[in-house]
Amino acid sequence: MLQQFSVSGDRNIQMNFDALFAHNNRFYLGAHSGKEIASFNVAELPCGAQCYDSDSHTLKILSADESGSKLWKTIQFV
């Protein structure tokens, strides 16, 4: 499910995410391409870990489904 939120009008979206999350969330992994994010070993990461997808300009949040499998959920900021 894709949720949309507003962010500042700053043209440097990646910089916005880094400023917002890097100092407040020790599980913010920074900006990565979609391919890099797909290669992360999610078994070693806690649910709630976050990263910025620089390909799609979205925030990915690691969560678990009903069976306990971890997956990335996408939040798009517009």
pTM score, whole prediction: 0.65
The average pLDDT across 37-62 equals 91
Q: Range of 52's domain?
A: 3-77
pLDDT at 39 exceeding the cut of 70 = yes
pLDDT at 11 exceeding the cut of 80 = no
Domain count for the chain: 1
State the pLDDT at residue 19: 59
State the pLDDT at residue 55: 92
The average pLDDT across 53-74 equals 92
| Amino acid (1-letter code) at residue 78 | V
State the pLDDT at residue 30: 86
| Beta strands in the chain, from DSSP E residues, in sequence order | 3-5, 28-32, 50-53, 58-64, 70-77
